[in-house]
Amino acid sequence: MSNDNETRHATAYWTVGPEQGELRREELTAPGPGEALVRTLYSGISKGTEMVVHNARVPECVAGNMAAPHQEGSFPSPVKFGYLSVGVVEQGPAEWQGQTVFCLYPHQDRYIVPVASLTKVPEGVPARRAVLTGTVETAVNALWEAGPRLGDRVAVIGAGLVGGMVAKLLATFPLGRLQLIDVDPAKRAFADTLGVDFCHPDDALDDCDIVIHCSASQAGLQRALQLVGDEGDIIEMSWYADRAVTLPLGEDFHARRLSIRASQVGVVARARRHRRTNADRLDLAVSLLADPVFDTFLTGASAYSELPDVVQRLSDGSLDALCHVIEYPEVPATESPR
């Protein structure tokens, strides 16, 4: 049993400038009432948003809205940002001790948070796979926003991490048609693993009831306008940060009475907001990860010490990934100050 008065240290990843990141050492206080000390096992890199942060492209007008739940610092830098962390509770309330948990916490080897910020990982979900909880939560929120119905014709544009997640969940619905669309023909094997029909944008079927756009490209959103049927819905999941997007709204957009709705995971989708909390949504998301097919989304792993280099390689394209996993070493329960 450790002494609560002993000094603990942690190491955290900080973005310290455009395309610059580093590991910083910091002190931890003892957990207080209702708090837990978590030792991290794995974290996942959310490539889209984290690359925007890495490249200092968060628009000032949404800097407050884009802050992660346990972020420190502020955009553009220095900032401690991230939200896909899985660990083990080393200290805290008795019912939490030894529990494997997911937390929307930045990349850090040990941290202290209120237990209300933790989501218990079910026994049937491996800790490594559980880093995907936050991304599955994003997909769940989008489907609550879209509200697919029996026999619907649905297209998902963009076979990346989020688009693949959305398509995987939609495959469990009694749809009339579902297509996962991407310009990269190599994504066909990925779609096959998910059990979803794949096609190139040029070959996609139109007259869709719902199109969910996840490609973060102007061309993808323009194609969504072409594929959705009259009075149909486009759910926009892409975040363009500081990039401008031009759409052909002067063609048949008004005549066909089309709708484009944003889906953002910061709040529960309006259709469920009065009956579900963020914690309910996370509990649902982690339970869905009992399906081993989700391991398909984990496309690589690196040691925690390599994290600054890994982030830069993801940013410059020399490392390709859907979700890249960071593996943390064992750390002693207590350390002496030095």
Q: Is residue 117 located within the same domain as residue 194?
A: no
pLDDT at 122: 98
Q: Is residue 201 located within the same domain as residue 231?
A: yes
In a domain, 234, yes or no: yes
For the chain, the domain total comes to 2
Q: Is residue 168 located within the same domain as residue 249?
A: yes
CA geometry: angle 34, 137, 298, nearest 5 deg: 105
In a domain, 42, yes or no: yes
Domain final position from 262, 282, 302: 262
- Taking only the tens of pLDDT, the chain with its 338 residues reads 445 556 689 999 999 999 999 999 999 999 999 999 999 999 999 888 999 999 999 999 999 888 999 999 999 999 999 999 999 999 999 999 999 999 999 999 999 999 999 999 999 999 999 999 999 999 999 999 999 999 999 999 999 999 999 999 999 999 999 999 999 999 999 999 999 999 999 999 999 999 999 999 999 999 999 999 999 999 999 999 899 999 999 889 999 999 999 999 999 999 999 999 999 999 999 999 999 999 999 999 999 999 999 999 999 999 999 999 999 998 655 443 32
In a domain, 175, yes or no: yes
Q: Is residue 86 located within the same domain as residue 190?
A: no
Residue 219, domain CATH = 3.40.50.720
Q: Is residue 258 located within the same domain as residue 146?
A: yes
Q: Is residue 54 located within the same domain as residue 12?
A: yes
Q: Is residue 98 located within the same domain as residue 166?
A: no
In a domain, 332, yes or no: no
pLDDT at 8: 84
Q: Is residue 234 located within the same domain as residue 300?
A: no
In a domain, 282, yes or no: no
In a domain, 168, yes or no: yes
Q: Is residue 306 located within the same domain as residue 212?
A: no
- Domain extent for 306: 8-122+290-327
In a domain, 333, yes or no: no
Does a cis peptide bond (omega within 30 degrees of 0) precede residue 337?
no
pLDDT at 7: 64
Contact 228, 253 (CB under 8 A): no
In a domain, 338, yes or no: no
Residue 65, domain CATH = 3.90.180.10
Q: Is residue 249 located within the same domain as residue 176?
A: yes
Cβ atoms within 10 A of the Cβ of 109, count? 23
Cβ atoms within 10 A of the Cβ of 337, count? 8
Contact 181, 159 (CB under 8 A): yes
pLDDT at 5: 55
Q: Is residue 76 located within the same domain as residue 173?
A: no
3-state secondary structure of 294: helix
Cβ atoms within 10 A of the Cβ of 315, count? 17
Q: Is residue 18 located within the same domain as residue 112?
A: yes
